[in-house]
Structure 1
């Protein structure tokens, strides 16, 4: 991963920890508007911070496995761990790239479909197709990846 991206992720992780500390402050809790704003920011940063922490752990695992490659008795196990850690690292990097994409302000808005009276008869046939098409392209928020 590029050093500039790692620096950005470190800054976001530090901000996440800072916001977490602020949310425990009695003065912030008393100011409901500030508390609400910080709670939203904390929620937005949580996925990135968690994924970045996992990525850092995997990088440590890769480093450890590479050191174990020097030991002839541990070489086979180290190669297997290294392969698994590199795969996991690639997955986490992809998730982080998706999580770093700018959010669309329209994502939070509710959408509705209206059928013209003349088309009301086709509504029962069209609605399942429309719903499945919309669901297919909705982001899966928990993992930060697109459904296929």
Structure 2
């Protein structure tokens, strides 16, 4: 591990010189790329410098302990050695996590797709609850939410909703949300007070650039139609809504949120690229051995990941066995505790898979 850290520190110093060079700054695209790489290495370098300082202090304390003859002073130095050793271990753990391979999609914006599953109207109402939950969470993170397409029911539920969340690190935090979400509650329409179980599926896709995936125009069928609102009511007198069908895969993407047909087409193409990218990534990783998949979950939309139990006021994530008794605030977007637990668990599992082969 020390060799890797030394290499990274040297690379960081080289980049520091380059981004200060006027000749490099003249090429804005290259300069921005180098600045981004420099910023990514900075947290690792800072922790490594702290680590080296602790090692030096620890070495000095051990030498002083061996030279000291006064018992009280030796006891004081021994306590200091104990504290420094604890700091050393803590920094080693931090550095191991910082050295884990970075998901290239972590910094990207995301598309979130929510669809009502089993449970009819109650499932659609739950899909709306999830949409509101993620919107609230995005607001708490100061991210921007942009609606792409929605299909409402007559009583305010959502059969389907597709929206974009723009913000730094959006994918790194929301990527664990893909899967089947289950709700257990008494519906408003249930007169006997019987608890119903319904589901909704969530898919979180990273936004992809044109360079990430190529789409042949000949493979697309583009249809335009009038936007429809609540209960199928027409809300637009022009054919501004767009439906794009990717013929080879059969994928269909619709967008009707904008009044401009061109803007709706641009949004629909972004969603299509994200879906095709996800499909390609899934096919690429299909051959990976089961024991090397992330233990937090594969992100498969068929996998039940979480239960929201209203009578008990709890939310349980089945992948990590975590139950929080704060359903109300959770549905208001207070997701940090759950998401942080998922990130920590994922990091721990990745460290296990690496076998902790790097020795300090």
Q: Same fold (TM over 0.5)?
A: yes
Aligned to 1:58: 54
1:38-49 → structure 2 map (5 Å cutoff): 38-49=34-45
Runs of 4+ in 1 over 4 A off after TM superposition: none
1:123 is aligned to 2:120: no
* Equivalent residue runs for 1:70-109 within 5 Å: 70=66, 71-73=68-70, 74-109=73-108
1:80 Cα deviation from its structure 2 partner: 1.1
* Count of residue correspondences: 137
Judged with a 3 Å threshold, the aligned counterparts in structure 2 of structure 1 residues 9 and 72 are, in CA distance, closer, same or farther, namely: same
Q: CA deviation at 1:97?
A: 0.4
Aligned to 1:137: 342
Shift of 1:113: 2.9
- Taking structure 1 as the reference length, the TM-score comes to 0.80
Sort the Cα spacing of 1:135 and 1:95 in 2 relative to 1 into closer, same or farther, 3 A.
Answer: closer
Cα root mean square deviation, aligned = 2.5
Tell me the distance in 1 between the aligned counterparts of 2:114 and 2:33. Answer: 37
SS in 2 for 1:115: strand
CA distance in 2, matches of 1:93, 1:42: 22
CA change 1:101–1:72 in 2 (3 A) is: same
Q: CA deviation at 1:18?
A: 1.1
1:15 Cα offset (Å): 0.8
CA distance in 2, matches of 1:92, 1:99: 10
Q: CA deviation at 1:98?
A: 0.4
How much does 1:135 deviate?
A: 5.1
Q: Which runs of no fewer than 5 residues in structure 2 stay unpaired?
A: 134-329, 349-360
1:32-71 CA distances to partner (integer Å, 9 max, x unpaired)? 0111111011011101100100000000011011011120
Structure with larger RCO (C-alpha < 8 A, sep 6+): 1
User: How big is the shift at 1:124?
Assistant: 5.2
Greater Rg over alpha carbons, structure: 2
Partner of 2:30: 34
| Whole-Å separation in 2 of the counterparts to 1:112 and 1:24 | 37
Point out the structure with the larger strand share: 2
User: Which digits, 9 at most, give the CA deviation of each residue in 1:8-30, with x for residues without a partner?
Assistant: 10110011111111111111111
TM-score with structure 2 length normalisation?
A: 0.35
Q: 2:110 aligns to what SS in structure 1?
A: coil
Q: CA deviation at 1:82?
A: 0.5
